[in-house]
């Protein structure tokens, strides 16, 4: 019996190997490169900006474009699914893998950051993408259309059309594992409708693990695998002291000044002269940094000047005492003022006492902090430190995400590490990110699935900034890597005897 299983496995490996060769040949067709480039230029020309209501039609146009592309690629059940918000999700699947093969949910997002506000700073118009000096240039050519959305679709198409394989017995052509695709349309605004969407469609989306095509590598020759991301919470504190601004000569010194009151209130939120948060309980649930965490930090070999201060023109690192910059970014929470305003902000001066002041605060959270608990702590702190003669209101700003963390040694992480090492020439470093992909914690919570970040964004691609770009070489590498990964996942699952049922090490 054992021998039979071993023989069958060997035969399967051999079939898979010829199947993969066919897929790679498909990718390498002479007409392929042009077609793949055209796809990105078409998709990136659609200004699918999730932040701006005037672009909601473009989000639908992008979803429609993807629906046609997914159908042309051979995916099944291609659907545009509504969320509770104005931005849909695009879903597709292909569930004809051999019995016992696991199911992966591939995640990416087709919405992009705004660009009109920075248009004068772009060398070419942000929504007229073009190829120049070996790179695509345009909003979304990296994040997430070029580095995330298209490569796995192109890989799936190549496997489905590349000949070889086949589900046997005249059935449809097979993939090495079962695949579901979920393309989100509101990642850039903090995925405000994702959780109810996952709750509603948890059966449709059920998977053994998630593969996120949103994220990035450290460099073109240095892969990284993301073990964690910080969560986030954004809220606005507003202080109102009167119905109207008033001449500062007429009332200055005799009524409350909301800008002064706000400065006094905010200053109680951190220890004096420091950035460590003074809100009681803020750090209570923060996990201590482990030796394994420190090993990853040492292996990462962070260059503070090159990777943090230099690009910003900042004079020195600044943060919680007793931690290095990378510890602060990967393992420590922070509370930042992201915006603040009151009174007259034009040239010169208008001598008024303002009647209103506000601050927008964004916390980045780490395990086991939760956005709800931190929100309650901030609210209690504001109530306890509210200056006199002020009305305060606090509102949530639609950005509320749990922190995410996973063990290093999962089967999909091992598969991804193997593929990346072979293709990029170096083994991956295990990283964390100070930023947030709300979906990852949400998948963990609603689908009980961990996420391997298999993504090809690069640090110098100007994400969220003018002149976003993405190298053609990385775009090519990404679709190749997705082919390799899908076969590697099939092989590891088969050889490890790990089907969909065993999530213990995912």
Give the residue from 227, 432, 428, 231 showing the smallest Cα distance to 327: 432
- Got the DSSP string for 255-303? S--HHHHHHHHHHTTB-TTS-SB-STTTTTTPPPPPHHHHHHHHHHT--
Which of 131, 204, 309, 423 forms a contact with a copy of itself (CB under 8 A)? Answer: 309
Pick 69 or 355: Cβ nearer a copy of itself: 355
Asked if residue 393 binds a copy of itself (CB under 8 A), the reply is no
Residues 470-489 touching a copy of itself, rule: CB under 8 A, are none
Q: How many residues bind a copy of itself (CB under 8 A)?
A: 90
Tokens (6 digits) for 332: 């420590």
Which of 13, 60, 204, 263 forms a contact with a copy of itself (CB under 8 A)? Answer: 263
Residues 200-229 touching a copy of itself, rule: CB under 8 A, are 229
Distances (CA, A) of 294 to 289, 324, 429, 433: 7, 11, 13, 15
Which of 86, 343, 427, 499 forms a contact with a copy of itself (CB under 8 A)? Answer: 343
Asked if residue 339 binds a copy of itself (CB under 8 A), the reply is yes
CB of 200 to a copy of itself, least distance (A): 24
Q: Could you identify the residue written with the tokens 């079962």?
A: 178
Q: Cα-Cα-Cα-Cα dihedral of 133, 139, 140, 143, to 10°? A: 90
Pick 317 or 383: Cβ nearer a copy of itself: 317
CB of 72 to a copy of itself, least distance (A): 35
Asked if residue 389 binds a copy of itself (CB under 8 A), the reply is yes
Asked if residue 256 binds a copy of itself (CB under 8 A), the reply is yes
Query: How far is Cα 484 from Cα 20, in angstroms, rounded to an integer?
Result: 8
Pick 227 or 352: Cβ nearer a copy of itself: 352
- Name the β-bridge partners of 362: 234, 336
Which of 67, 217, 257, 451 forms a contact with a copy of itself (CB under 8 A)? Answer: 257
Asked if residue 492 binds a copy of itself (CB under 8 A), the reply is no
Asked if residue 315 binds a copy of itself (CB under 8 A), the reply is yes
Give the residue from 428, 477, 470 showing the smallest Cα distance to 452: 428
Pick 117 or 368: Cβ nearer a copy of itself: 117
Tokens (6 digits) for 221: 């020759």
Strand order in the sheet with 89-94: 76-81, 89-94, 178-184, 103-109, 209-212, 451-453
CB of 391 to a copy of itself, least distance (A): 8
Residue 98's φ and ψ, nearest 5 degrees, are -55, 150
Asked if residue 462 binds a copy of itself (CB under 8 A), the reply is no
CB of 327 to a copy of itself, least distance (A): 9
Asked if residue 82 binds a copy of itself (CB under 8 A), the reply is no
CB 236 within 8 A of CB 253: no
Query: How far is Cα 486 from Cα 457, in angstroms, rounded to an integer?
Result: 19
Pick 9 or 251: Cβ nearer a copy of itself: 251
Reported residue count of the chain is 506
- Got the DSSP string for 192-249? TTHHHHHHHTHHHH--SEEEE-SSB-SBTTB-EEEEEE-EEEEEEEEEE-SSS-EEHH
Pick 128 or 267: Cβ nearer a copy of itself: 267
Which of 20, 109, 139, 328 forms a contact with a copy of itself (CB under 8 A)? Answer: 328
Which of 373, 464, 492, 499 forms a contact with a copy of itself (CB under 8 A)? Answer: 464
Asked if residue 399 binds a copy of itself (CB under 8 A), the reply is yes
Asked if residue 434 binds a copy of itself (CB under 8 A), the reply is yes
């Amino acid at each position: 019996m054992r021998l039979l299983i071993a023989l069958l496995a060997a035969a399967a490996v051999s079939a898979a190997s010829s199947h993969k060769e066919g897929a790679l040949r498909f990718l390498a067709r002479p007409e392929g490169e042009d077609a793949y480039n055209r796809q990105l230029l078409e998709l990136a020309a659609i200004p699918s900006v999730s932040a701006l209501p005037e672009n909601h039609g473009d989000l639908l146009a992008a979803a429609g474009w993807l629906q046609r592309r997914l159908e042309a690629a051979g995916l099944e059940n291609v659907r545009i699914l509504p969320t509770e918000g104005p931005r849909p999700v695009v879903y597709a699947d292909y569930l004809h893998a051999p019995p016992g093969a696991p199911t992966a949910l591939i995640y990416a997002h087709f919405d992009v950051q705004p660009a009109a506000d920075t248009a004068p700073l772009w060398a070419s118009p942000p929504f007229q993408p073009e190829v120049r000096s070996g790179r695509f240039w345009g909003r979304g050519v990296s994040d997430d259309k070029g580095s995330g959305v298209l490569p796995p679709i192109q890989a799936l198409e190549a496997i489905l059309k590349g000949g070889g394989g086949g589900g046997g017995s005249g059935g449809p052509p097979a993939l090495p594992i079962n695949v579901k695709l979920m393309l989100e349309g509101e990642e850039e605004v903090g995925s405000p409708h994702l959780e109810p969407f996952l709750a509603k469609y948890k059966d449709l989306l059920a998977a053994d693990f998630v593969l996120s095509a949103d994220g990035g590598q450290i460099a073109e020759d240095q892969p990284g695998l993301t073990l964690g991301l910080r969560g986030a919470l954004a809220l606005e504190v507003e202080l109102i002291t009167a119905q109207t601004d008033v001449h500062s000569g007429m009332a200055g010194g005799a009524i409350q000044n909301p800008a002064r009151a706000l400065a006094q209130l905010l200053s109680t939120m951190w220890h004096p002269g420091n950035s460590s948060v003074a809100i009681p309980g803020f750090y209570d649930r923060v996990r201590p940094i482990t030796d394994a965490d420190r090993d990853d930090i040492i292996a990462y070999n962070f260059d503070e000047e090159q990777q943090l201060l230099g690009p910003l023109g900042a004079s020195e690192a600044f943060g919680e005492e007793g931690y290095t910059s990378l510890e602060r970014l990967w393992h420590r929470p922070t509370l930042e003022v992201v915006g603040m305003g009151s009174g007259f902000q034009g040239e010169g001066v208008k001598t008024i006492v303002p009647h209103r002041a506000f601050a927008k605060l964004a916390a980045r959270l780490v395990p086991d902090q939760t956005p709800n608990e931190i929100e309650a702590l901030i609210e209690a702190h504001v109530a306890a430190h509210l200056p006199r003669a002020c009305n305060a209101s606090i509102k949530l700003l639609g950005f509320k995400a749990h922190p995410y963390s996973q063990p290093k040694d999962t089967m999909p992480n091992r598969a991804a590490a193997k593929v990346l090492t072979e293709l990029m020439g170096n083994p991956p470093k295990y990283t964390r990110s100070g930023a947030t992909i709300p979906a990852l914690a949400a998948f963990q919570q609603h689908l009980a699935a961990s996420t391997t970040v298999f993504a090809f964004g690069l640090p110098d691609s100007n994400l969220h900034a003018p002149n976003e770009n993405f190298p053609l070489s990385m775009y090519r590498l990404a679709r190749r890597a997705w082919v390799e990964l899908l076969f590697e996942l099939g092989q590891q699952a088969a050889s490890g005897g790990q089907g969909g049922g065993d999530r213990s090490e995912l």
